[in-house]
Structure 1
Amino acid sequence: MTAAKMVAEARRTLGMSGRPNAITRENASRHGDAYLRASWCDMAITYWVRHSGNAKAVLPGRD
């Protein structure tokens, strides 16, 4: 769990555009279909946190 892992995860999504995409789909699976077409800048951070192994440090009380 490091910031470097989170940055590396963010780099994997460089160039991603449009909706739905991998980030909005993951959030929609957790919170409902409204997330498929929502603005995803905040969702991206949560996605990177989860995929980099930093969820416990950044999202206390959530997985």
Structure 2
Amino acid sequence: MIGKTGIFLHPRHEIGVVEAESGDRVAVAALTRCDRRADLAPDIDLAIGAGARQVFAALRR
């Protein structure tokens, strides 16, 4: 996945392009907000990645 991150304290915005083995590409964006500063919340990055994978898989069905 190729992506761009925008972080400003608590909001974290991610957008990326996911490419399947078939060559299909889908842009996925996630806008999040947390009570912790972004640099103290690596679990949010993991959740964004997991959500993006689920969305991509659902779109390919």
**Could you say whether these structures have the same fold, taking a TM-score greater than 0.5 normalized by the shorter chain as the test?**
no
- Return the TM-score normalized by structure 1: 0.35
- Return the TM-score normalized by structure 2: 0.36
Higher strand share: 2
